[in-house]
Amino acid sequence: MGHKEKQSVVSIIGSVLVIVFYSLYVYRNYIQTDLEILNNYQFWGKSFLFLIPVTIVVQIVINIIFAIVNRIITREDI
């Protein structure tokens, strides 16, 4: 499997994990205590606007870690 293919798989897995953990966080801290918030569009807007920078930062960190680990394991340049 080539470098780009590995990077794509890692990126997809990272994105799914971020969304799952963020969804659990939102559910436990907000939705579980107040079900009326499900109809509040302002809440959903703020939730998704906060998710965007979190996802970007996590993807950058994951890509850096992947590049380091891949370089160590395969001993080849990117």
Q: What is the 3-state secondary structure (H, E, C) of the chain?
A: CCHHHHHHHHHHHHHHHHHHHHHHHHHHHHHCCCHHHHHCHHHHHHHHHHHHHHHHHHHHHHHHHHHHHHHHHHCCCC
* pLDDT above 90 as % of the chain: 56
**Rounded average pLDDT over 48-66:** 93
The domain tally of the chain equals 1
Per the structure, the complete domain to which residue 7 belongs is given by 3-74
**Band of residue 56 on the pLDDT scale cut at 50, 70, 90:** very high
Please report how the helices 41-74 and 3-26 are oriented relative to each other, as an axis angle in degrees rounded to 10: 150
